[in-house]
Amino acid sequence: EVQLVESGGGLVQPGGSLRLSCAASGFTVSVYYMSWVRQAPGKGLEWVSGFYSGGNTNYADSVKGRLTISRDNSKNTLYLQMNSLRAEDTAVYYCARGTSSYYYFDSWGQGTLVTVSS
């Protein structure tokens, strides 16, 4: 069974840092495109960053230079290092697996809440 479990969210002050983790089971993360998608409270979905099976990464313009995605194949885990956090980064962060075509996301974790506030 495919499972994604996020962790690492919490309350952080503006300008602070946080690292999110997404532990995968039931499949190998290095074979798929893996992504982070966020949802601000009461709002819609926003793609944040992704990690291709070949190692390339991409980011939404709103987070470029502040958030860094990485992957540990030995732990079958995806990470999101979040620096210089702003109030507008407050959201539930979901880890999602891309389909083989990577056009869509066919498996999602339950999400982890990041709150940026003083």
Where along the sequence are the contacts to other proteins (CB under 8 A)?
35, 37, 44-47, 50, 58, 60-61, 94, 99, 102-106, 108-111
Judged by beta carbon, residue 10 or residue 104, the one nearer other proteins is: 104
CB of 102 to other proteins, least distance (A): 8
Between 13 and 64, CB nearer to other proteins: 64
Per residue, the 3-state secondary structure of the chain, as one string, reads CCEEEEECCEEECCCCCEEEEEEEECCCHHHCCEEEEEECCCCCEEEEEEECCCCCEEECCCCCCCEEEEEECCCCEEEEEECCCCHHHCEEEEEEEECCCCCCEEEECCCEEEEECC
Residue whose CB is less far from other proteins, 1 or 118:
1
- Rounded to a whole number of angstroms, the minimum distance from the CB of residue 111 to other proteins is 6
